[in-house]
Every structure is written in structure tokens, then in C-alpha cells.
Amino acid sequence: MNIPHMGGRTIGPWLELFAMEAEPGTAIIELGAWLGAGTEFLARGCIGNNVDVHTFDIFMVKGNEVQKAEKQGVYLNPKQDTLPLVQSYLSKYENIVYHKGNIADTIWIGPQISLHVDDACKSPKQFKFAINHFSPFWIPGKTVVVLMDYYFYKKRPDQPELICQKEYIENHGYAFEFIRDWPELACAAFKYLGGDVKYI
């Protein structure tokens, strides 16, 4: 299904591969689903692995999302609740758990996380919360961390704070191994090696 996307479908085959390699009994975290394009690849990749995709989003149309969806043939209304639409797109997948609301209100108590995909936390405040909240559940030598906005600061030179994801990885270089990146989409992927990765 060609679900409208902001990059999730472009790197979808990689998301699917990472999900296929997820450890049984762990979880996949997706921060920011929009309309579920990337979510579909994650869910497809871990079918039969005893792994659920936990996707967190406000699931409400905002900003220029009406225009972005319309260019891809889907018509939305401002402030529309998109969760029913996303659930209809992904109805055949039983391994998706939807978390609707502000990510900063999240309480995660497990299981361990084998794949962490962040497509929502662009600002330092949001990103700090996400890292400090979820990283204690990452698995040394196993967890893959995909940062969909790693190079986003290059697209918004008037917002230098958006370099926070790149600075975080560089400041904790001992704890991450570079896998690959997609500069045209601003994305990069890393393997968590272990150690203290708290965002201070």
C-alpha cells in the first residue's frame, strides 16, 4: 500500500531489515508515525518474531501536513484525528501497539528495545526526553537506533538547535557504531554498543 510518507517509505526496506533482526521478546519503538508508512515496514519485518511495534504519535493533523498528504493523493483536514486512518491502513498487522498522545507523557516500563526509530523528537527538549526515557531499555551490541532527523539542521539553518541529534551521537561516540545514512532524507542509523548514553 502506498501510504503517504515523509521519508519512511523511502528507507522502508532498511526499516524492515532492522525489524527482521529484532530479538524475539523485545519491542520496536517508533516515535512519530504520521500516516504509518514506516510503521508498515517495521510491522512487516517482525511478523512471527514475537516482537511488537509500539508507535507513538499525537495522531492529529498539524502544520503543512494537509498539503504534504494532498500531494500524495490523500485529503486531510486541519486537526483531524488520524489514528482511525492509520489503523485502517495497517489493519492486517496484529503486531502494532498504538500510543496516542504527547510523547513527553510516555511511561515505558519494558520490554527491552531492539530497534528505536525517532522521527518526531527534533528539538533538544523532546530529544532529551526520548533518549533518557527509552535508552535504559536498549540492548548493548544489539539495539539499532535510527534518527530520521540526524541532518535536519542542514535544512533549517535558522534553527541551529536542530543539530542536537548529531551532537548527541558525537558526544557519545564510544557508545555507537555508525551503520549507514541517507543524507538526502536527513536520516542516519547506528548500533548501540553499550555504556552510559544519558543526555545531560
Nearest to 121 by CA among 99, 150, 156: 150
Domain spans of the chain, in order of start: 12-192
Nearest to 86 by CA among 134, 32, 148: 32
Residue 129's pLDDT is: 96
- Mark the ranges of the chain whose per-residue pLDDT is less than 70: 1, 4-9
Strands 176-182 and 96-100: unpaired
| Torsion 71-77-81-84 (CA) sign | negative
Residue 56's pLDDT is: 97
Q: Which CATH number fits domain 12-192: 3.40.50.10490, 3.30.390.30, 1.10.150.120, 3.40.50.150?
A: 3.40.50.150
Q: Residue 17: enclosing H or E segment and its boundaries? A: helix 12-20
Nearest to 108 by CA among 29, 33, 198: 29
Cα–Cα dist 200/4, whole Å: 36
